[in-house]
Amino acid sequence: MTRDEALEMIKAVIEEVVPGADLSAVPPDENFREHLEMDSLDFLNFVEVLSGRTGLTLPERDYPSLTTLEGCARYVATHTAGPQAGPS
């Protein structure tokens, strides 16, 4: 999956978990949880839905990588790219 494909999926997942979320107001490198006032349950729902859509296991230790749109898109693209992606 490309970074752009990942980003579109992530935005769709956020909109599903936080209906009415205005993602246009969220800078790509800033914490979307804070901008959208997502509580812990909202974030866990986001992680669960994202995991289901991508087929990735998203361990808690990786959650810090999933808190910005850009970081999350990079994480998903890197982890779904397969062996040809090279070292991280």
> Residue 86 falls within a domain, yes or no?
no
What tens digit of pLDDT does each residue of 36-68 get?
A: 999 999 999 999 999 999 999 999 999 999 999
- Write the DSSP string, 41-59: HHHHHHHHHHHHHH-----
Determine the structural domain holding residue 71 and report its residue range. Answer: 3-81
Q: Total domain count for the chain? A: 1
**Does 87 reside within a domain?**
no
Q: Is residue 50 part of a domain?
A: yes
CATH number of the domain encompassing residue 13: 1.10.1200.10
Question: In 53-66, which positions are buried (b, 16+ CB within 10 angstroms) versus exposed (e)?
Answer: ebeeebeeeeeeeb
Instruction: Quick: pLDDT tens for 9-34.
Output: 999 999 999 999 999 989 999 999 99
